[in-house]
């Protein structure tokens, strides 16, 4: 089954206010794609970005569109990357009988299960709409997310300056010993961290989410764009989506270009589109 990730600007322009001129055509095309066996995927970042709107009617209409899509949910990036490392380590260090199956689970079928991947409290009846409205009505939670997002522009600018001055080896700064120590199982001994460092190239080839994060972060550092707080959300929702979805749809020109170079460098098969209408099937 092919999986299509939709960026927030797609949800907003097709389902919200104002809607793009071809919104109805896009909705019909989305329905046709679902009938042909395609499925859609969204993430917690779709919820956060929609919750920032002050137009409750816009929010409700976007939620109606999401209900039509009946998507799966992209799990927490940290959880997905940790699973990739756990799986990679198992091949080398799980010596008791055959290597145990260590699946990577990039998607959840329900919003509740997605929130569980963040180790957050969840309820069986959690929905996209309830989560969005919960964020919308919780200024404290929104401010905390925005506080972290506001740190992203300065972090990018500082890293650029350090690289220009020759004081930063960017590749080592992204996937290094501290990165592995954070992502590896808590019980991982030093020899396993050393193994990850020694075989980093093979790890990246076997771990698409980590490879995407490494490539996308490097791309954003090298580009000359002016970083903004919403770049934090772009980074977070792109990692697992580019790694495990078959298609990634965004109307954001800068994000599209960053993702285009990222999938090539990371060696993932995700295809990029600027509109759902560009995704065709012989059955559509």
pLDDT in tens, 84-137: 999 999 888 875 545 455 789 999 999 999 999 988 776 667 899 999 998 888
pTM: 0.85
Domain count, the chain: 1
Does residue 121 lie in a domain region? yes
Strands (DSSP E) contained in the chain are: 3-6, 39-42, 72-74, 107-108, 247-249, 271-273
Does residue 117 lie in a domain region? yes
Does residue 284 lie in a domain region? no
Q: Which two tokens stand for residue 243?
A: 């790694």
Range of the domain at 195: 3-278
pLDDT-derived band at 234 (thresholds 50, 70, 90) equals low
Question: Which H or E element spans position 244?
Answer: helix 230-244
Does residue 159 lie in a domain region? yes
pLDDT at 78 over 60: yes
pLDDT at 223 over 70: no
What's the start-to-end Cα distance of the chain, in Å? 15
Does residue 247 lie in a domain region? yes
Pair 66, 40: CB distance under 8 Å: no
């Amino acid at each position: 089954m092919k999986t299509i990730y939709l960026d927030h600007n797609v949800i907003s322009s097709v389902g919200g206010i104002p809607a793009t001129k071809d919104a109805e055509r896009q909705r019909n095309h989305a329905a046709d794609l679902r009938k042909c066996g395609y499925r859609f995927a969204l993430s917690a970042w779709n919820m956060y970005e929609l919750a920032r709107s002050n137009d409750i009617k816009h929010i409700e209409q976007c939620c109606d569109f999401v209900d039509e899509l009946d998507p799966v949910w992209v799990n927490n990036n940290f959880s997905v990357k940790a699973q990739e490392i756990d799986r990679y380590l198992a091949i080398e260090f799980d010596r008791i009988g055959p290597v145990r199956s260590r699946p990577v689970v990039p998607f959840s079928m329900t919003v509740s299960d997605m929130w569980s991947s963040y180790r957050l409290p969840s309820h069986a009846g959690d929905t996209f709409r309830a989560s969005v409205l919960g964020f919308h009505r919780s200024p404290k939670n929104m401010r905390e997310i925005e506080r972290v997002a506001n740190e992203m522009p300065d972090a990018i600018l500082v890293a650029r300056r350090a690289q220009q001055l020759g004081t930063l080896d960017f590749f080592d700064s992204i996937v290094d010993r501290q990165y592995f120590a954070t992502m590896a199982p808590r019980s991982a001994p030093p020899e396993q961290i050393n193994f990850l460092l020694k075989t980093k190239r093979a790890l990246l080839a076997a771990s698409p989410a980590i490879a995407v994060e490494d490539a996308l972060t490097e791309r954003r550092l090298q580009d000359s764009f002016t970083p903004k707080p919403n770049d934090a959300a772009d980074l977070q929702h792109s990692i697992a989506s580019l790694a495990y979805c078959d298609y990634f749809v965004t109307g954001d020109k800068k994000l599209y270009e960053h993702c285009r170079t990222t999938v090539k460098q990371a060696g993932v098969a995700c295809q990029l589109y600027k509109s759902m209408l560009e995704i065709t099937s012989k059955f559509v």
